[in-house]
Chain A
Amino acid sequence: MENLFDIFIKAIFVENMIFAYFLGMCSYLAVSKTVETSTGLGLAVIFVLGITVPVDYLINEYLLADGALSWLGPEFANIDLSFLSYIMFIAVIASMVQLVEMVIEKFSPSLYANLGIFLPLIAVNCSILGGSLFMQERDYNNIAEATTFGLGSGVGWFLAIVAIAAIREKIRYSNVPAPLRGLGITFIITGLMGIAFMAFMGIEL
């Protein structure tokens, strides 16, 4: 349990998807104009990461990794399909996003109205695929750890996009040099926030 908590905190602060790895920057920059829309997108990312990372974990563990197919019989023990992982992961993500979209549309039209437009965007959000690839690289021990990591990364991303959206709403009233307005200043603010987040880096959990 303590271990799970460590992974969660680490994924949010120390290894924040945006400030430490720059994953999901495209939608982070494009959708962060107002706090409201970025909250919607952030929630959708938490949701999708929380589903795809454990599913990809199972796929990796029982189909793709070196010797993962040994449950089929001893003659399959030497098969290593990990070169297929990109295709499998992206297929899982794209279909999961589609599935989640349909389920939400069916059962919660109000949530769909809020989240709906962001869901297709998420399929090409690097932080989702990045979550799965980091999960594969770091070799988590069981599915609980993988799920915690997915949720934690999602929460970290959510915090980052809501924070930048709030700053961008404020900065509209400041006198930024014209060529820096919009995109340029957002980059520089993100850099400063990244430096602030580095304060968490030395923390041993």
Chain B
Amino acid sequence: MAETKEKEPLFSSKNKKLLSEPMVRNNPITVQVLGICSALAITVKLEPSLVMAISVIAIMGTANLIISLMRSLIPPRIRIIVMLTVIASLVVLVDEILAAFLYDVSKQLSVFVGLIITNCIIMGRLEAFASSNKPWPSFLDGIGNAAGYGWILIIVGFFRELFGSGEIFGYPVFEKIGLYQTGYVDNGLMILPPAALFIVGIIIWVHRSRHPELIDIS
């Protein structure tokens, strides 16, 4: 794909597209249906969602870069194990960093940091893009997809924290504006796991009604 042009600027329109495409049009969660597991489980509050989003962006950019650099060295038969090993080593790094600097968040995320390894977005993009493209576009593709994943995570986390516990980043918004005096009660359902499914379902609904070409006809 990048073979034809010898020298293209770092942010050519094609490369910019790699970054912007996964944000909306080809979003990993709402369109490609990848990486749902972690998107749902850790979005009870905004802070872990944000930490998770940043971790995935870091891991995915690096993993795409590494695999793309090694793409001609990896024998196709064992590529899955090689990819998993690369991802797992990066996840171990992130896990240790989180445990050292953000201990509370890392306790909240518990096994879900480890589960970034099996986050299908990373495997999916490594397989579909990084193993056949040059390092720089692969890096951008990784960042773009992870960011597309991240912003959905943050939206879900925002709504769940706001309506579930009336806070944003732990700051009691609803209490400050005096909503509780009017008889408002926090929606307990929002803290429970199914709420995440409803919110993602609604995001998909809104997204597909704005992009009718994505509608599933089957």
User: How far does the Cβ of A58 sit from chain B's closest Cβ, in whole Å?
Assistant: 19
Question: Does A188 lie at the interface of the complex (its beta carbon under 8 Å from any beta carbon of B)?
Answer: yes
**Are A126 and B201 CB-contacts (below 8 A) given A183-B33, A194-B194?**
no
Tier of interface size on chain B: 35 or more
- Contact check, B80 vs A86: say whether CB atoms are below 8 A apart: no
Scan residues 7-40 of chain B and give those whose CB is less than 8 A from a CB of chain A.
30, 33-38, 40
- Contact check, A191 vs B195: say whether CB atoms are below 8 A apart: yes
- Contact check, B89 vs A183: say whether CB atoms are below 8 A apart: no
Instruction: Give the tally of cross-chain contacts (CB within 8 A).
Output: 145
User: How far does the Cβ of B12 sit from chain A's closest Cβ, in whole Å?
Assistant: 32
Question: Does B110 lie at the interface of the complex (its beta carbon under 8 Å from any beta carbon of A)?
Answer: yes
Using an 8 Å CB-CB cutoff, how does the interface string of B97-136 with A read, 1 for contact, 0 for none? 0000000000000110011011110010000000000000
Q: Which of A20-28, A35-43, A44-52 contacts B (4 or more CB under 8 A)?
A: A20-28
Complex Cα distance, B201 from A30, in Å, reads 15
Using an 8 Å CB-CB cutoff, how does the interface string of B197-218 with A read, 1 for contact, 0 for none? 1101100111111001001111
- Contact check, B92 vs A87: say whether CB atoms are below 8 A apart: yes
**Are A184 and B204 CB-contacts (below 8 A) given A125-B118, A129-B118, A133-B114?**
yes
- Contact check, B120 vs A124: say whether CB atoms are below 8 A apart: yes
Jot down 21 A-B pairs with beta carbons below 8 A, ordered by A: A21-B193, A22-B41, A22-B196, A23-B41, A24-B37, A25-B36, A26-B34, A29-B33, A84-B92, A87-B92, A90-B117, A120-B80, A124-B80, A129-B118, A134-B111, A177-B205, A182-B216, A183-B30, A184-B201, A191-B201, A198-B194
User: Which residues of B come within 8 Å of A, CB atoms?
Assistant: 30, 33-38, 40-41, 80-81, 84-85, 88-89, 91-92, 95-96, 110-111, 114-115, 117-120, 123, 192-198, 200-201, 204-209, 212, 215-218
